[in-house]
Amino acid sequence: MSLDIKFKKASDDNYIEIKPIGEVDIYTSPEFKNKVMKIIENESINIIINGEELEYIDSTGLGVLMSLYKKAKENNIVIGIVNVNSNIYKLFDITGLNKVFDIKNGDSDGQH
């Protein structure tokens, strides 16, 4: 599977939504990291990663999220994560990253 990344700036320019579509894994992580890193380095805008179409993320992808988080924090930018499915949320939970990232509203089953 591949990765498509969509970007949408909020109408009030308060944040930018990044929507990864597909898989963030060892093959697609570099592209994801480069595109998001450019936003962090070039714009002072908070980031929301919308995981509603994220089908899979592996440890490489989680590592990329951590490096993005650290860079964002250096630049006083907040990264939030929304709409991840329950399987992906479990990865955040198991690794403890659910305590690092502000993760909101996953599946409609209300598990998290």
Q: Where are the domains of the chain?
A: 3-104
CATH 3.40.50.1370 fits 3-104, yes or no: no
Q: Region 1-26: what's the mean pLDDT? A: 93
Write the pLDDT tens digit of every residue in 29-83.
999 999 999 999 999 899 999 999 999 999 999 999 999 999 999 999 999 999 9
Continuous segment of H or E residues that includes residue 48: strand 46-50
Spatial separation of the C-alpha atoms in residues 30 and 18, rounded to whole Å:
15
1: pLDDT confidence band, cut at 50, 70 and 90? low
- Rounded Cα distance between 112 and 57, Å, is 18
The angle subtended at Cα 71 by Cα 78 and Cα 40, nearest 5°, is: 65
How far does the chain reach from its first CA to its final CA, in angstroms?
27
Residue 79 pLDDT = 95
